[in-house]
Amino acid sequence: MRLRHDLAAGIVLALFAVCGADAAEGDTVSVLRQMRQTVKGDVLDALAGWAHVVSSPVRWDGGDWLTAGGVVVGVSASSVLDSDVRRMMQRNRSGLNDDFSNVAVNYGDGLEMLALSAGGYIAGLTLREKWLRETSLLAGTAIVTAGTLSTLSKIIAGRARPYMNKGPGVFKPFTISAEDYASFPSGHTVVAFAFSGILSERIGNLWATIGLYGMAAGTAYARSYTDHHWFSDVVAGAAISVPVSRSLVRYYEEDQEEESGLCVVPGINGVTLLWRF
């Protein structure tokens, strides 16, 4: 009798273990499925945001064109200081400034900042931290979007870098592969201000904004200090990235607000009706 009771108890425990394993496996499959759907939606949102920003000039009104014209005038005016700023940078070379530049330039490294954004996205996705996931997605999208505009501008302008010692007014338009003629605008500055712009908009705190844009300005300083860019190159980089970041955040947040209400979500086993609020 004792043996039967022990055997029965063992069978019950085994059934509980199998059922528990099946439930855990089912939960894992459900979570992975949900994560896959989230990633798919985020990729589509990123592509839509990129397209929205790149195509935005076709939707500009008179005020927008006036603002853009003012930015162009401002960047052009900053070129008057190109030679003076370069001489000032060369006069103030020191070990301390060298060390600062070597650190500050990393904040504008495109691959490093994209890797940081990807890491934040994966962490947010895994931990189900929506703000972290969305902010990291926006940061990566801003870097790619502003980088696209920056690369096109570099190719079109073909500006000689300061270390070429040809002066600030030398251009070879549509120079694709020559790094020596890719000065305008500063790509590192573009990346730094794009990343800072997204975080500034998402955090919404004055002191955080000051700190973030201060870090981006440090990258701009480093690129001028190392003789890779003229002053107007870094001004143009900031002028590209800040509007891109703000436009992306507003587009994304407005798009999220419009998703409230009844919607149809496709799935593996059909479609589901959801009420979002």
129-151 pLDDT, tens digit each: 999 999 999 999 999 999 999 99
Percent of the chain topping pLDDT 70:
82
Q: Which domain holds residue 251?
A: 81-257
Res 272: pLDDT: 47
Residue 21 within a domain:
no
Residue 275 within a domain:
no
Residue 11 within a domain:
no
Residue 153 within a domain:
yes
Res 88: pLDDT: 95
Residue 59 within a domain:
no
The angle, 0 to 180 degrees and rounded to 10, between the axes of the packed helices 187-203 and 206-225 is 180
Give pLDDT tens digits for 209-238. 999 999 999 999 999 999 999 999 999 999
Res 257: pLDDT: 61
Residue 139 within a domain:
yes
Res 7: pLDDT: 41
Structural domain count of the chain: 1
Give pLDDT tens digits for 71-107. 999 999 999 999 999 999 999 999 999 999 999 999 9
pTM higher than the cut 0.85: no
Specify burial of residue 222 (Cβ count, 10 A radius: 0-12, 13-18, 19+). Answer: buried
**Higher pLDDT residue, 177 or 22?**
177
Res 16: pLDDT: 41
Residue 8 within a domain:
no
Residue 34 within a domain:
no
**Higher pLDDT residue, 255 or 234?**
234
Say which CATH number the domain at 134 has: 1.20.144.10
Distances (CA, A) of 222 to 40, 97, 261: 38, 9, 49
Res 254: pLDDT: 84
Answer yes or no: are the C-beta atoms of 252 and 142 closer than 8 Å.
Answer: no
Res 258: pLDDT: 56
